[in-house]
Amino acid sequence: MTDSARLRAADLTLEEKASLTSGADFWNLKSIERLGVPSIMVTDGPHGLRKQAGSSDHLGLADSIPATCFPPAVGLGSAWDPELAERVGVALGVESAIEDVAVILGPGINIKRSPLCGRNFEYVSEDPIVAGSIGAGLVKGIQSQGVGSSLKHFAANNQETDRMRVSADVDPRPLREIYLRGFERVVTDAQPWTVMCSYNRINGVYASEDPWLLTQVLRDEWGFEGLVVSDWGAVNDRVTGLAAGMDLEMPSSNGRTDAELIAAVRDGSLAESVLDTGAQRVLDLIAKAQARPAVTGPLDVEAHHALAREAAGRAIVLLRNEGGILPLAPADRVAVIGEFARTPRYQGAGSSQINPTRLDTALDAIRAVSPAAPFAAGFTLDGSGDAAALRDEAVELARAAEKVVLFLGVPQQEESEGFDRTHIDLPAAQLALVDAVRAVNENIVVVLSNGGVVALPFAETVPAILEGWLLGQAGGSATADVLYGAVNPSAKLTETIPLSLQDTPAFGNFPGEHGHVRYGEGLLVGYRWYDERGLQVAYPFGHGLSYTTFGYDAATATVDAAGDVRATVTVTNTGTVAGREIVQAYTSLPGSSVQRPPRELKAFASVALEPGETAVVELQLRRHELAYWDVRIDDWAVEPGTYVIEIGASSRDLRVRTELTLDGDPVSLPITLDSSFEELLADPVVGAELQAEIDAAFGPAGDEMMNLLGNAPVGRLDGFPMPREQLLALVQRAQRGA
């Protein structure tokens, strides 16, 4: 390639510039042989490399080369460990580099607004701090290997129903505080090489042609330096999109949209400088990819499989463990029931479907520890067969066992990219199996395999539940590691498990109708909703048990030189085995002038402790992330006041608290005759003078008068509390600031 540092878009012809801004085919960018600009390849991720061999598609239908299938985001996120995510990212980067892939399309960090979203397995959390932290770890790891990442899907891509057209109608505060905040953290912390714009519209405007989203917010506010690529088929109007900041269209349009750009430049409807900007960003991306040192491999399959196993073990959430039934002992007479033990569901369906280098099953892994463990399918994954006969066989096995490990889950055909779920229930045959087994053996350990949360009607009637999510290719071995105590579970829920679908925040506002979905729950997404409404849940956000116990003590909080809050807490492993605790910090502001949930996660840390060991855990609460979006000034503002910081093991298991008074950001509201009396009274220039006039006119009744009229516009009541000319002069002085 010609020296990329000197090659500029100005060196290209109009036709060459246009050609660079769309793909050559499904996965490759165009080359320019005249200037030595090579084609580079991008491929799907995000939990493994999906480099298709032969025919190409974006739905996971065609075969791809073998690659390590790490736990999808639903599992990896449950580890609450950005450093682990970064290590997985390094492995993803290595495999991509070996295959000469320039950009791997991930991570996905969209918010889990509803448990029904068919793509929730590919997203991290219902909370933006968790999603942004894990996403940043993955991006850092991938890009450390000279491979680009593609942060997706930007933005408000929270459902699959009508996903290519639907308008996500979101108010400014939740859009900023919930749906964009995670993206902001990844961009500012990790600078992904590319950001992928989503299919949907946001408040009526396609993400692929929204200059507010792609230029004002992403570049001007957050300082994004890379390239914006479309989701595959997300382009609605190529000329409008390029002007908005959408640089690269994928896949190929077979030259159709290139011709549209050329025509628009020639007829003057598109400035050539805009095309230059888009083409230059593509050249810069190619240059980054070409700067990577050559990597030939071979892939260390075993090392990456071991990392996948470690990550899977860190992803399994111990929801319940009554009576200490877990961990199992090798000598326990265990019956293994459930087809998922033999036929694992280890990843989601669709564009992220990986062809694994190997695949562990839980049944094989359990038998490696307890060779005599018998097995019964109990049900079929597609609902075929004689359900009663399968159930009866499982019951007889359970009757003869000391303990039962019962594998349940959501079949792949019920959960995939491309469509949303319609319920959160496990199949009826599986629920009937639980009841039948429990009737003959109460010592049941349920292991779940699912990409999105499921209702757990048996939560109080079985002694142990492992939420296994989708665990990647080593999930079977990792499950046995946790069951037998080789790994002490440490994962925590990154999304609330509700008692019913009707309790969920978006119920009634999902998936919308006639091309629009109203985000009517506003800020109250996930745990914020359940806490605000005082709803009982099956298991709260942040919950996860261990085979040991942890004590919390001595919380403190101070403000550092950068204005961030540094909170500390003393955590002790009070049990008898080594373990890892996820320490979570939540904030609230009593008496806030704006709507706030009862508490919001602002920081977390993962700490490993030996039995009896104590550590002082430090948590950084970024000042910017304590701010709310002030719609009056269209900007962030930290509200002054005394913040409560609660630290604990989940959103509903808060062990210690401390308080800290913060100075607020100055908020200067424009003063006009349409301003309220309260706003004018708050003005530092004329507020005191107006208060004096009110006191002089009404005396002791002035406070009562302001309670009645304080939010009335000052220009609406002529002569109150002074002649209009005098009031207008007061307003003009406030506007001048003197």
Active site residues: 231
Which residues lie closer than 8 Å to 346 by C-beta, 6 or more apart? 69, 356, 359, 449, 470, 471, 472, 473, 475, 476
Q: How far apart are CA 407 and CA 434, in angstroms?
A: 10
Q: How far apart are CA 445 and CA 489, in angstroms?
A: 14
Let me know how long the chain is.
Answer: 738
Taking CA 34 as the corner, what is the angle to CA 30 and CA 39, rounded to the nearest 5 degrees?
25
Residue type at position 559: V
> 389 by DSSP, 3-state: which?
helix
Structure tokens belonging to residue 243: 């002007």
- State the DSSP code for 174: H
CB neighbour burial string for 409-442, b if at least 16 within 10 angstroms, e if fewer = bbbbebbbbebbbeebbbbebbeebbebbbeebe
Cβ pair 116, 420 in contact under 8 A: yes
In what helix (H) or strand (E) does residue 433 lie, and over which residues does it extend?
helix 428-438
CB neighbour burial string for 379-398, b if at least 16 within 10 angstroms, e if fewer = bbbeeeeebeebbeebbebb
Cβ pair 122, 72 in contact under 8 A: yes
Measured CA to CA in angstroms, residue 129 lies from 111, 197, 392, 516 at distances of 10, 20, 47, 27
Measured CA to CA in angstroms, residue 256 lies from 240, 261, 589, 707 at distances of 15, 9, 54, 63
Q: How far apart are CA 258 and CA 246, in angstroms?
A: 14
Cβ pair 564, 339 in contact under 8 A: no
Comparing CA positions, the residue from 67, 662, 47, 703 lying closest to residue 357 is 67
**Which pairing describes strands 205-206 and 167-169: parallel, antiparallel, or unpaired?**
unpaired
DSSP per-residue codes, 526-593: THHHHHHHT---SB-TT--B-SS-EEEEEEEEEE-TTS-EEEEEEEEE-SSS-EEEEEEEEEE-TT-S
Residue type at position 694: I
> 466 by DSSP, 3-state: which?
strand
